[in-house]
Amino acid sequence: MSYYEAQYNIKEPGIYQFYMDPKPYFEPAENIFIRHITKTIVNAYGYGEGWDEPIGLKTEIIPLTRPYGLYKGNIFSGKVLYKGKPAKNRIVEVEYLNSKSLKAPGEDYITQEVKTNELGEFSFAMPLAGWWGFSALNEDDETIKKDGKEYPVEIGAVIWVETKDYE
């Protein structure tokens, strides 16, 4: 498994949106390329304004619930945009970063799914403390050529939020 690490020294109060737009990779089991644009939002020094502003990515999830200061059991709501417009009736996959090695009762419990409504909005209650990833999947309008053949691209808008226990 490979990963990247970054450090950023925040000097001023504000809302900081960090994102990564990785190079698409080929998924042979599905015969598609996958490109998941991932972001998280940080409130620096209690600023608190602008957490619901889009960055302007090709696809992204705009929080309708403040994406920080969340407790276990809170509901996270968001709006999925694709090319600046609401992505209606799209699947949003929800996964828990299972750093505690918890055992799910079955495969269907590992990746939860909700759908966006006509406005591109969705909601999900997060039952555990920790990091939650929300990935809204769209078939992109671009294709990628590999070995002389054009393949579709699944483009995902991903946002990570963290919940905590009361102490």
Q: Is the residue at 9 inside a domain?
A: no
In this structure, is residue 6 part of a structural domain? no
The answer to whether residue 1 sits within a structural domain is: no
Residue 10 has pLDDT above 80, yes or no: yes
- Has residue 3 got a pLDDT over 90? no
The total number of structural domains that make up the chain: 1
> Is residue 149 domain-resident?
yes
Q: Both tokens of residue 96?
A: 């828990």
Mean pLDDT, all residues of the chain: 95
Query: Which CATH number characterizes residue 94's domain?
Result: 2.60.40.10
In a domain, 42, yes or no: yes
94 part of a folded domain: yes
36-73 per-position pLDDT tens digit: 999 999 999 988 899 999 999 999 999 999 999 999 99
Output the CA torsion 97→48→120→113 (10° steps): 20
Distance from C-alpha of 114 to C-alpha of 122, rounded to nearest angstrom:
7
Enclosing domain of residue 107: 14-164
